[in-house]
Structure 1
Amino acid sequence: MIEHGETGLPRRKKIRVLVVDDSRTMRQIIRACLEKDPQLEVIAEASGASEARDAINAYSPDVMTLDVEMPKMNGLEFLKRVMRHRPMPVIMVSSMTQKGSKAAIAALANGAVECVEKPCAVGSSGSFAKLPALIKVAAVARTGQIRGPISQAAKQHTAGHSGDGRYVFIGGSTGAVEAIERILLSFPPTCPPTLITQHMPKEFLASFAARLNPRVEPMVKLAQDGESLESGKVLIAPGGDTHLAISGKGAPRVSLVEAPERNGHRPSVDILFESAASLGSKAVGAILTGMGNDGAAGLLKMKAAGSRTVAQSEDSCVVFGMPRVAGEYGAVEHWCDIDAMASYLLHSCWEKTGRS
C-alpha cells in the first residue's frame, strides 16, 4: 500500500512544478525556495507564455507558478488560455502594484488557485515563505471546473427581497474569490447586510472590492471602523493590521480589531464569526472553500447561538479544507453547491420564524 501524506498525494511522488516569470532572478528565487522542500521539484522554467506552453506540453507539470505581468502576453491572458485548453493548478505571482493586484484578482476569479506577492527587494524570498505549502495544496485542488454564467432565472428568483432584519457573514480562503463573486452575482440590490472575510493581503482585498462593485447589484466596498450595516451593502475585511468584526446587538456596526493573526491569518474568519454569534438567530454564516481550519470554531459558536450555518459542498470546493473541518466540529447545518449558496443565504434571511 502506498502511504499518503497530508496533501493527499503519495509520499513517494514529488510535485513537479513549472516556474514562469520573465525575470531570471525571480525564477531563481522561486526555484531556490521550492527546492528546499524534498516533496517539490522544479522541472522547468519559462520566461514567457510561448515557452510556458511548450514546457506544459513537454513536461506535464503538476502545478505552475505564473507571473502576472509579462511582456507580449500577460499572465492573466495566458491563464485564460490554459484553463480553456489544458486546465491545471496555477499559483499567480504578483507585484504589489495597483496594476498587479488588479490582474491577480482577475486571475483568481478565472481559475487560479492562489496568488502570492513578489518579494519587496531583489534577492529576498521572505514573501514566498508560504509558497511551498501553497504548491502542495494546489497539487490536489479541484481546478478546471467550467461554470456557466449565473442564469437570469436565478437572479429573478432572488430579486426584490431584503434581509428581514437578518445579517449574512461569509468567510473563505483558497478558491473563494470566484465563489464569492458567484454568490454576489445572484444577490439583489436590496440584499441583507453582508460582511465578508477573505484571506488575502490588503492590496489584493482593495482590488477585490473594486472588481466586485461594478459587477454586482449591491454596493461592495472595504469595511470602515464604526460603519453601519445596511441592506444592499456588502462590506469586505480590509486586512492589513486588522480583523473584521461587529459590535453592538441592537444596531450592530463594523469593528476593525487590531490583533495578532488568528489561525495564521489576518483577517481571520473565526473573529468575524465569533462576533456574529452575538446576533443569534439574526445571523446567517457561510464558510467557503479554503485550506486550514479558520472559521470552524467561530461557525460552531454561531450555530450554538441559534444562527443558521452553511458550508460549501465538497464537490464545488477548490480546496475542501475549511468546510471539512467545520463539518467535523458539528458547526454545519446545511451543505450547498456554490451556485445554490446565494439562494440558501437569502431564503434563510427571509424566513419569518427562526429555524425551520
Structure 2
Amino acid sequence: MSNKIKVMIVDDSALVRQVVSQAISRDPGIEVIGTAQDPVFALAKLNSLAPDVLVVDIEMPRMDGLTFLKRIMAERPTPVIICSSLAEKGAQVTMEALSAGAVAIITKPKMGLKNFLEDASNDIVQAIKAAARANVRALGRAVSPAAVAADVRPKLSADAVIAPASAHQGAGMYGTTDRIVAIGTSTGGTQALEAVLTRLPAVSPGIVIVQHMPERFTAMFAERLNGLCKIEVREARHGDRVIPGRALIAPGGKHMMLARSGAQYTVEVVDGPLVNRHRPSVDVLFRSCAKFAGRNALGVIMTGMGDDGARGLKEMREAGARTVAEDESTCVVFGMPKEAIRLGGVDEILPLDRIPAAILQSARG
C-alpha cells in the first residue's frame, strides 16, 4: 500500500489545477488523486477518493471555498490548505478560513499565476506535508502516514539574531516583579490562540506571541482577536510596551524580541535572517525572554510543525521561567511541543483548555 500523501485540488481555474498538480507531483511523497472545478464536484468525489489533504480556492462557482471548508470540518474533517488570490490582500475571508480550520494559506497573485505557482511549488509541497500530519480530530472539533522530506534551505539558530543570555541575565534579577507570558505556535495556532486568549479576563499578564504567519495576515489576525477578547490584542510595533491586559503579536516577516527599558518591558521588531526557516521565529522571542525576563516569565509552546521554539523554551526554563507545552491530544500538529518536551524544556504538559488557567496562575507568581 502506498504511503504517499493523497491530495485533491479544488479550483475553478483549469490552469491552477494543472500547474499545481504538476508541481507537487514531482515530489515522490505526494500523489494528486483528483481535481474538481468547484466544491459541489469535490463533495461528490470525497468519499470515493478519501484525500489526506485538500488544496482549495476561495472564490468558486456554486459554493465558495469558505462554505466548503466549514462543511468539510463538520462532516469529514480533512486538512485544508487555502490557495487564493484573496490572500494577497489579507482579506477578512482568509482570516475566517483560518478560524474555520484551514491549516495553511498560500497566496497566489492574479497576474503571472503560472510562474508564481511554479516558483512557489516548494512552499506548497511543505504546506501539504505539514497538513498531512495534522490532528484531524483537533481540526474538526487518522491521516495516512507519509514520509516528510527535509527542507533544503539552511537552518539557522537564534544565534543569527540574538546572543544567548549570560548567567546574570538568566537569573531574571531586574528589580521588577512584572510578569510576562511568551507564546509560540504555528500550524493550527490561529485556532489555539483564539481558544486561549478569548478565555482571559481583562486583567491578565502582558503577553508576547509569535504565530508563524505571512506578512499582511498578522495585523488582520490581531484585529480579529481584539474584537473577540477582553484583553487588547494588536500587531506589535517597535518599542511597544508589554503591559497587563495587552497581547502583542509579532508581525509577519519580522522577528520580535522582548527588551527592557528601565523597569518596563518593551518589544523590538527587527529584520534578520530566517531562524529555523521562520521569520518571526519562536526561538528568537523565547531567547529574548530568557535574557530579559528570566523567572518573571511563563513560556508556552503550542501546536505547530517542526521544532522552532523548542530550544528557546529550554533556555527560558534554565533562566528560571515556568514552561508549558500543549498536550498532544489537543494539538493540530504535535511537532513543536513534542520537540520541546524531548529536549527537557517543559515543566508541565497541558491540554489547550487548561492553558488559560496556567497563564493566570503565572500572574500570581
1:291 counterpart = 2:305: yes
Aligned to 2:145: none
Aligned to 1:123: 114
Aligned to 2:256: 244
For 1:15-26, list aligned pairs within 5 A. Answer: 15-26=5-16
Aligned to 2:242: 229
Q: Deviations over 1:35-57 (max 9, x none)?
A: 01112111111111101111213
Aligned to 1:175: 188
Match of 1:51, SS state, is helix
Give 1:96 shift. Answer: 5.2
Q: Structure 1: which 5+ runs fail to align? A: 1-9, 148-163, 352-356
CA contact (8 A) 2:89 2:216 kept: no
Aligned to 1:194: 207
Compute the RMSD of aligned alpha carbons.
1.8
Aligned to 1:106: 96
1:59 counterpart = 2:49: yes
Match of 1:316, SS state, is coil
CA contact (8 A) 1:111 1:144 kept: no
Aligned to 1:141: 134
State which of 21, 25, 45 in structure 1 corresponds to 2:35: 45
Give 1:101 shift. Answer: 3.7
1:337 counterpart = 2:330: no
Q: Match of 2:120, as an amino acid?
A: S
In structure 2, what is the Cα distance between the partners aligned to 1:68 and 1:194? 33
In structure 1, what is the Cα distance between the partners aligned to 2:61 and 2:245? 40
Aligned to 2:278: 265
CA contact (8 A) 2:182 2:297 kept: yes
Q: Match of 2:45, as an amino acid?
A: A
Bigger mean CA offset, 335-344 vs 200-209:
200-209
Q: Match of 2:341, as an amino acid?
A: G
Identity %: 42
Measured at CA, do residues 245 and 96 of structure 1 come closer, stay the same or move farther in structure 2, by a change above 3 Å?
A: farther
Q: Deviations over 1:310-338 (max 9, x none)?
A: 01001111111101111111100100101
CA contact (8 A) 1:68 1:100 kept: no
Measured at CA, do residues 317 and 254 of structure 1 come closer, stay the same or move farther in structure 2, by a change above 3 Å?
A: same
Name segments (4+ residues, structure 1) moved above 3 Å: 96-101, 144-147
Q: Structure 2: which 5+ runs fail to align? A: 142-176
Q: Deviations over 1:162-191 (max 9, x none)?
A: xx7200110000011100000001111121
Aligned to 1:82: 72
Measured at CA, do residues 68 and 100 of structure 1 come closer, stay the same or move farther in structure 2, by a change above 3 Å?
A: farther
In structure 1, what is the Cα distance between the partners aligned to 2:10 and 2:328? 30
In structure 1, what is the Cα distance between the partners aligned to 2:8 and 2:229? 35
Q: Match of 1:281, as an amino acid?
A: R
CA contact (8 A) 1:174 1:291 kept: yes
